[in-house]
Amino acid sequence: MSTPKAPDPAKLVISVFMKEKHLFDQIFDRLEAIAGPCDLISKWLDFDFTDYYYKEMGSPLYRRLIAFKPLIDQEQLASVKIATNEVEKACSDQGNRQVNIDPGYLLSSRFVLATGKEYSHRIYIGKNIYADLTLMYTKQGFKTLEWTYPDYASGAVTGFLEKVRKKYLLDLKERKIK
C-alpha cells in the first residue's frame, strides 16, 4: 500500500506573449498581484513557432516568461489560470486578446501548464481547468513529450526553465532549513 504524502510546493511560472511589448508593463503589476513578487524573468523571446494566434493578435509576437518568488501549493494552479484569464479579458480589444497568459508550475521532475482545453493527456484539476504535462526533467535535462508545443521545446524556453529549476531547488532547501 502506498502512503499518501503531501506534495512539494511548486514554482509558479507564467508565460506571456503579445504583439505590442508595451502591454507587458501594463499587466506585470497585475500578475504580481496574483502571484507575488517576481523572482526571475526571461528576456524577450521571438514567438515564431506557429501562426495560430496571428489572426487574433497580429504578428510578430513576443514572449516573456516570469517565475515568481513564493512557492505555491500545486492545487492553486486552477485558481491562477482563472485569474490570468481575467487579465487577458481586461486587455482585450473588440473581443480579440492582445495578450496571451499561460500559467504553469515547475517541480524538480516536470513542468506543467494550465489550460481550459480537455485532451487525452490532460488531467482535470478543478474549476474547468486541466493540467498539461508539458516537459519532464531527466538526468539529461528537460525532455519533450509528443504533445509538447514547439515553443516550449525550444532551447530558449528550456534554458530559462533550467535557471528556474536551480532557483526552485534552492528555495526548497532553504524552506527545509527553516
- DSSP line for 79-114: HHHHHHHHHHHHT-BTTB-SEEEEEEEE-SSEEEEE
Q: pLDDT under 50 in the chain at which residues?
A: none
User: Model pTM?
Assistant: 0.96
Q: What are phi and psi of 170, to 5 degrees?
A: -65, -40
Contact 113, 129 (CB under 8 A): no
* DSSP category for residue 137: E
Question: Which pLDDT does position 48 carry in this prediction?
Answer: 85
Q: DSSP readout, 167-178? A: HHHHHHHHHHH-
Taking alpha carbons only, the member of 173, 177, 103, 108 closest to residue 136 is 108
What confidence score (pLDDT) does residue 137 get? 98
Q: Quick one: pLDDT at residue 176?
A: 84
Query: What per-residue confidence (pLDDT) applies to 12?
Result: 98
Q: How far is CA 45 from the centre of its chain?
A: 15
Beta bridge partners of 72: 10
What mean pLDDT, rounded, does the chain reach? 96
Output the pLDDT for position 177.
Answer: 84
What CA–CA distance (Å, rounded) separates 108 from 90? 33
pLDDT digits (tens, 9 = 90+) for 25-75: 999 999 999 999 999 999 999 888 899 999 999 999 999 999 999 999 999
What pLDDT score was predicted for residue 35? 98
Q: Are the beta carbons of 123 and 110 closer than 8 angstroms? A: no
